[in-house]
Amino acid sequence: MVDLPPNTMVPVYYSTIHQFHNPPHEHDRGFQIPYHEVPRRIEAAKEALEGLPFTCLEPANQSVPDSILFSVHQSALVAYLKQASRNAAAWQAEHPEQGEVYITPWIYPLKPHMRQGLLKSSDPSGCFAFDVDAPIGIHSWEAIQASANLAYSAAVGVRNGETRLAYALCRPPGHHAGPDYTGGYCYLNNAAIAAQTLIPLGSGAILDIDYHHGNGTQEIFWQRKDVLYVSIHADPNEEYPLFAGYTDEIGGEDAPGWNLNLPLQMGSGDAAYKEALDTALKTIQDKGANWLVLSAGFDTCADDPTSSFTLSDSMYSHIGEKISELNIPVVVVHEGGYAVEANGRLAARLLTGLRNG
C-alpha cells in the first residue's frame, strides 16, 4: 500500500466551479457531436469517492503560484485563456438571444509568418490550440483555474508530508495541454502542475493511464531529467491525438530515456494492459522516482463510448494495487472517462487499490 498510518483519511479535492464550464458540442474526425466531457463525469466520481470510508472531501485550499504555473506553461497561454473568457462574456452581452456562447479557433497559422500576423490580431486563438475541442466560454477560465488549483492543493499536501496519497477531481482535464496550447478538452496541464509542485522531494514520475496519449505532458517534460513521463494508451496510428505517442519518442536531446510510450493495439483488454503496466512500473522504479503523479483516465473501460479497449472493472483495482507496491507518495489527477457513471465506480476501485494495496 502507499504506506499510510492506520485510520488515515485520504483527501479528495473537489470544487463545484467546474459545473459552469459546459460546452455543447465537439468534433470527432471533423463531425460535430455532443460534448463528451460533461459535468456529470466529476459529480459521479465525487459521489463514489465521498462514499468510501477512508476519504474526506476537501476544497482547493491553495492557488497555483506563478512560479509553478509559468514553469510548465508560457505566460502568453494564460493571458489568452483569461482574455478568451472575457471575449465570450462580451459577445454574450451583445447577443443575449444566442444564450451561452463558447469560442473556438477559426484560423490556424500553419506557417511562421501567419502566426506572427495572427498574434497581432484581435483573435489570436488559433495560435494557442491544436484542435477545436477546447472551447472557451464566459465561465471557462474560472473552471480552468479551479481545476489547476485542485491539482496544486493535492500536491502541496503530499509535498508537505500531510499525506502520502491524495486525489484531485480535476475538470477540465489537462494532459493534452502543452506549454503554449490547448486541445482535447484540456487548457492547463494539471498533472504537470502537480509534478512541478513535487520537485522539492526530488525527481519523480508521471504515469498516464488515459486511453489517449498525453501529448501535452510529454512535451512539457521532453527535455527534463527530473520528471519521467510514462504513458499507456491506444495506438496513435489509429487514435487521438494521432501525432504523438509513438514508441520512438523517448525524450529530448537533453533527456533521452525520460519518456516512455507504451501504445496498445485497438481492442486491448486486461492481459495486454497488465503487461504494459508491469513495464511502466519497472521503469518508474528503475529511475528511482521519489513520487508519482497518476494521470487517471477511465476511458479505457469496456463501457466507454470513445474507446476500443475492454478493461474490466477489476483492472482498476489491480492498477491501484500494483502502483501501491512502489511505496512512494502518489497524487491522482482525474483526466478522461466518458462512460459517465463508470467514472464513479472505477475511481473508487482505483483509489481503494492505492489505499489498501
Question: Which residues are catalytic, by number?
Answer: 176
Fill in the amino acid letter for 131.
D
Percent helix, strand and coil across the chain, each to the nearest 5: 40, 15, 45
Residues facing 57 on adjacent strands: 12
Neighbour count for residue 254 (Cβ, 10 Å): 10
Strands 10-13 and 55-58: parallel
Cα separation, 328 vs 310, in Å, equals 29
The DSSP letter of residue 137 is: E
Cα–Cα distance measured from residue 281 to residue 166, given in angstroms and rounded to the nearest whole number: 19
- Separation of alpha carbons 83 and 356, rounded Å: 45
Q: What sign has the CA pseudo-torsion 331, 336, 340, 342?
A: negative
Closest CA to 230 of 269, 186, 278: 278
Joined together, the cell numbers standing for residue 344 give 464513479
- Strand, coil or helix: 177: coil
CA-derived radius of gyration, the chain: 19
Residues present in the chain in total: 357
- Count how many Cα atoms sit within 13 Å of the Cα of residue 280 in the half-sphere of its side chain: 27
Q: Give Cβ neighbours of residue 159 (< 8 Å, ≥ 6 apart).
A: 197, 198, 200, 201
Q: What 3-state class would DSSP assign to 210? A: coil
Helices 313-324 & 342-356, crossing angle to 10 degrees?
A: 30
Per the CB < 8 A criterion, the answer to whether 338 and 45 are in contact is: no
